[in-house]
Structure 1
């Protein structure tokens, strides 16, 4: 029997703009990529990784630690080996080739976080086309931490929307978001207070916009936990969103449940 395939949308971004000039080095979080991917594989699914350029995502160095795996050295080692060596993480396709090959064969789609997706996937037209397909077909669409902001790619002019956010023109951004397919959906994303901590300790600078604001301007019903870095997952129809790195296991469980499978993740 052929295994059901889950499409993972990865980012190729390694720098993000900071207010006042300059950039910060970024990537994708190791645990956010590998914990759900390994849970899917353990549950009997096959994962296919695709990025805008068809090259492997860069792992944010600050995520490459055992602390992001709850201090579990074995879990960290397994995740590192998986990302470094497994074919699923190295046989990377372009988003365009995935579309051209047909999306009907995929049972669901997953977007991991780290700041990287905010730069490229958020405004990528192919990412938008993929999201619109999964929305139309009602198939599970899971996004983690900063990943949920990628659903803005489904807008008619996502690059203009992102540019309006950077310019601070909320009215223009809201106008560009009219007719968004996820308007009214309940969702979560990396919170503004969590972002302030990341800006101070990791990015060493201020971003042009925070993620909840971007999704609220788009028309999303965004909720976050009152306590920073506590696991939080919101499910509304086909959309599954996790707030922060600590939500990796819970998001994996929710996605597998929506897919109709099960896995020992916890």
Structure 2
């Protein structure tokens, strides 16, 4: 018998705007999705995957790499098989349909990473409604790497906030962020240094904004490690955030502990 059901807020985005022009192909990160969800199932919970459109997220091709699985090919294969074949990963719902059925049944909510949430989830009104429910009921809310950008959807003017970031208007972004439920929370996200590495070595292109600046403009107290790509998790009240792909196991352990404590 399940100990409870977790809502997973995935992304449908596959292209991210580049400051230099054009777009960058993105998606959901394999390990940041599969590793926490496999741990959640092993701990006795089940989950429902929902996205803005109701379609299954795409895997970021760059995330299907041994580097994110401690060079363990068997672990990568398990994650790949889980993402592709697990029943819950293929019974995808729209966020709207989940909201309409009622959010009270969910014990917690999880936002996987990859750059994809920076495009759609962070400005999605249904994701914002989900977040406001979980915040109001003090239910565990977990996010990893770029997943914490999803919690910006709880802003009253999330779309305008994102547009201000793209325009480079930090003052306007801060003004639009007034009343954000997570203002004053300690949190982490993919760091400035880690983003610069991705821009220089993976994308070969610059982004319009980095993630710590965005969360700080909204009122978050962002804490990142001095050394890039080391596991780092920050817990503040119901919010559990993890900095990068190497934080997948630590994020899962903290999320499960919070779920068990509440249960």
Please indicate the TM-score interval, normalised by the length of the shorter structure: over 0.9
Matched, 1:11 2:3: no
Identify the range of structure 1 (156-165 vs 1-10) with the bigger mean alpha-carbon deviation: 1-10
How many residue pairs get matched? 261
1:120 — aligned with what? 120
How far 1:2 sits from its partner (Å)? 4.5
CA RMSD of aligned residues (A): 0.9
2:235 — aligned with what? 235
SS at match of 1:12: coil
Distance 1:14 1:176 in 2: 27
Contact 2:8 2:49 in 1 (8 A): yes
2:218 — aligned with what? 218
Q: TM-score, normalised by structure 2?
A: 0.98
How far 1:3 sits from its partner (Å)? 4.0
How far 1:39 sits from its partner (Å)? 0.2
Identify the range of structure 1 (121-130 vs 68-77) with the bigger mean alpha-carbon deviation: 68-77
2:41 — aligned with what? 41
Distance 2:202 2:65 in 1: 14
Contact 1:131 1:151 in 2 (8 A): yes
Q: Deviations over 1:195-242 (max 9, x none)?
A: 000011111100000000000000000010000000000000000000
SS at match of 1:259: helix
Q: Deviations over 1:4-38 (max 9, x none)?
A: 10011000000000103110000011000000000
Q: Deviations over 1:76-131 (max 9, x none)?
A: 11111111111111110000001001000000000011000000000000000001
1:187 — aligned with what? 187
Distance 1:2 1:234 in 2: 27
Matched, 1:82 2:59: no
Distance 1:131 1:204 in 2: 33
Classify 1:200/1:208 alpha carbon distance in 2 versus 1 (closer, same or farther; 3 Å): same
Q: TM-score, normalised by structure 1?
A: 0.97
Distance 2:210 2:60 in 1: 19
Contact 2:35 2:79 in 1 (8 A): yes
SS at match of 2:178: coil
How far 1:161 sits from its partner (Å)? 0.1
Distance 1:174 1:2 in 2: 42
Matches within 5 A, 1:168-207: 168-207=168-207
Contact 2:189 2:211 in 1 (8 A): yes
Q: Deviations over 1:135-191 (max 9, x none)?
A: 000000000000101111000010000000000111110000011100100000000
1:145 — aligned with what? 145
SS at match of 1:260: helix
Structure 1 runs not aligned, ≥5 long: 262-266
Where in structure 1 do 4 or more consecutive aligned residues deviate above 4 Å?
none
